[in-house]
Structure 1
Amino acid sequence: MAGELQRRLMERRERQELDRMLRAASAVVTARTLASAEVPDGVLEAVRGFWSTSAEFDATLNDDAPDELLDSWVEELLARHGFLTSAFLFTDLDLAPWIEFEMPPAWFSSVRRAQESSWVFLRSDLGAVAAVSEQEYRFEFLVSHLT
């Protein structure tokens, strides 16, 4: 009984967090989600590699950069790697591990309001995964092409 109560409580908290994220990114979020089982194994391997201390980042930006510069930096880097019209964002929620969003001009500010840091993106065609992580004194951008 205690296990069931804990599960329901966790599910309720996740629903609240998902609702908050969807409201914060309402300008760009779509109704599409991906379950963990729909994500290719290579994505998880690549993301694990991103968090390795030996990972080599593709670009950096000082963490004192204004939000507008961070937004345009992320958008430009993702566009260079084929993230053009829509992508998935990793949420770390069991209910909806990956939520899709559209990428019109200035889209990243909505995503940043929905999730404060350490963004992991999956291209809609599942062909690439990228991460932006705030480290000490800088943001780091990492990408892995899967196909």
Structure 2
Amino acid sequence: MTSELQRRLLEQREGRELERVLRAASEVVTARTLTFAEIPDDALDAVRGFWSMAAEPAATLNDEAASERLDAWAEELLAEHGYRTTAFLLTDLGLAPWIEFRLRPGWFTSIRRATEPSWVFLRSDLGAVAAISEQEYRFEFFVSHLPQTGAGRASRRSR
């Protein structure tokens, strides 16, 4: 009984947090979400690699940069890597691990307002995963382009 109660409480807490995120980024979020089972293993492996101490960022920005500069920097870098109309944002929520949002001018401001740093983005075609992380003295940008073959994109969990 205790575990059932704990599960319900967690679901309620996550539901409130999901509502808060959706409200805070309402101008860019869509109703679409993905589960971890729908994400290619290559993407999840790449994200784990981003957090390795040996990982070298593809780009950096001084953490004293104005918010507007951070927003423009993030949007420009992701556009350079094929992020065009929509993408998915990784959350800490089991109810909605990946939330889709529209990439329209100023979108990163909404994402930054709705969530805490660090941010992990999955391209809507599942062809790339990127992360922006606030580290000591700087923001770091990581990106990995994923295999485009059917077998390389499928998750082992869904086979």
Give the whole-Å Cα distance in 2 for the aligned partners of 1:16 and 1:64.
32
- Note the C-alpha offset of 1:48: 0.3
Q: Which residue of 2 aligns with 1:22?
A: 22
Q: Distance in 2 between matches of 1:65 and 1:35?
A: 34
TM-score (normalised: structure 1):
0.99
Aligned partner of 1:75 in structure 2 is: 75
* 1:24, distance to aligned residue in structure 2 (A): 0.4
Q: CA deviation at 1:16?
A: 0.6
Q: Is residue 43 of structure 1 aligned with residue 36 of structure 2? A: no
Q: What RMSD, in angstroms, separates the aligned Cα atoms of the two structures? A: 0.5
- Identity in percent: 71
Aligned counterpart, 2:4: 4
Paired positions, count: 147
| Distance (Å, rounded) in 1 between the aligned partners of 2:7 and 2:144 | 34
Query: How far apart in 2 are the matches of 1:20 and 1:117?
Result: 16
What's the TM-score once normalised by structure 2's chain length?
A: 0.91
Matched residue, 1:104: 104
Give 1:77 shift: 0.1
Structure 1 unaligned runs (5+)?
A: none
Q: Over residues 73-116 of structure 1, what are the superposed CA-to-partner deviations in whole Å (9 max), with x where a residue is unaligned?
A: 00000000000111000002110000000011111100011112
State the SS of the aligned residue for 2:126.
Answer: coil
Separation in 1 of the partners of 2:42 and 2:22?
Answer: 27
The match for 2:154 is: none
